[in-house]
Structure 1
């Protein structure tokens, strides 16, 4: 699909948005909007086979996510969003690359509630961050299984804390969905472009 190729080419050199100039951002917004008009799944929350699974972030305008790159001596690695429709849960995982053996991880878990065929309200419940080695992190799928199995990590593995979902909530809208690409928009006006990870 021509619009999809154009969008992927436009975001390829932006390092998930970290290097995007205002001109780049405008062009990407326009290309995303064009693609959103042609989504194969206008009611994406019913397309569970396509929506379920692990998604890797290709581009965002979210200052909250891109701000992770500002930690001294650390660089933002891959960012994943994992969607489990049956459980009404979302997990966000950001890898933080540092010195050998000192790479970190920032993860948040949330529950969601559908409010339309495109939009979910998201309430964040749990945050975990620490060193990947101590947390036993191998990949997003394996780590989510650990999160689901352990109500709380011991303090020596990392910082595991409850989030007040009344204060930390928002919404996410799926505006384009096909078998391997998803575009979403958030309540803070952020744009997200993600590619499905084959497990």
Structure 2
């Protein structure tokens, strides 16, 4: 079964951090096989499947994996929380380091489906937050999103992004009740499981 084969292939790769070129190629081939049997080709017909908190289990994105290469910092869990009713996406990357210095990098974006491409969404980044989890009062993605939605400026680097300059697109190439695959405008593969 393509889904089981993909999950087995990525199991020991630490979200892609440990993947060598051969393993990356194999994961991409298995992802293509799963994408070929996508049960949800039209996202507009499945907002309930898309909604929720998704945990990243594999990516080929060097920008994300690069967070693990910073001195004294290790990449923790990465979440993408999707709220279709508000057309909002909350990306949250937990960072670990020295005790009491655990960090967080978060980006808030709006998305809109592209009518002539039913699997594609345009993403416009609006806000970025970087700081220590303790100062941000971070306990969970859900609780943090509530803070973000309040509109308050948070302790840390909290700044607006120009959504006309900071934008891209994402093809959601496979979506079922608990697994989502996507391919970004920079060619990266994302595999996420529903939390």
Aligned runs of 1:135-150 on 2, under 5 Å?
Answer: 135-150=136-151
Matched, 1:16 2:15: yes
CA distance in 2, matches of 1:196, 1:63: 22
**Aligned equivalent of 1:178:** 176
Aligned runs of 1:81-96 on 2, under 5 Å?
Answer: 81-96=80-95
How far 1:59 moved relative to its partner?
Answer: 0.3
The 3-state SS of whatever aligns with 1:100 is coil
How far 1:184 moved relative to its partner?
Answer: 0.3
**Aligned equivalent of 1:118:** 119
Q: Deviations over 1:68-109 (max 9, x none)?
A: 111110100000001111101111000001111110000000
**Aligned equivalent of 2:161:** 163
The 3-state SS of whatever aligns with 1:118 is strand
Runs (4 or more) in structure 1 with deviation over 6 Å come to none
Q: Check whether the contact 1:77–1:94 (CA below 8 A) recurs between aligned residues.
A: yes
How far 1:167 moved relative to its partner?
Answer: 1.5
Q: Deviations over 1:26-76 (max 9, x none)?
A: 100000000001111111332111110100000001011111111110100
CA distance in 2, matches of 1:166, 1:151: 23
**Aligned equivalent of 1:187:** 185
- Normalization by structure 2: what TM-score? 0.97
Structure 1 gaps of 5+ residues are: none
Q: Check whether the contact 1:78–1:94 (CA below 8 A) recurs between aligned residues.
A: yes
Matched, 1:128 2:129: yes
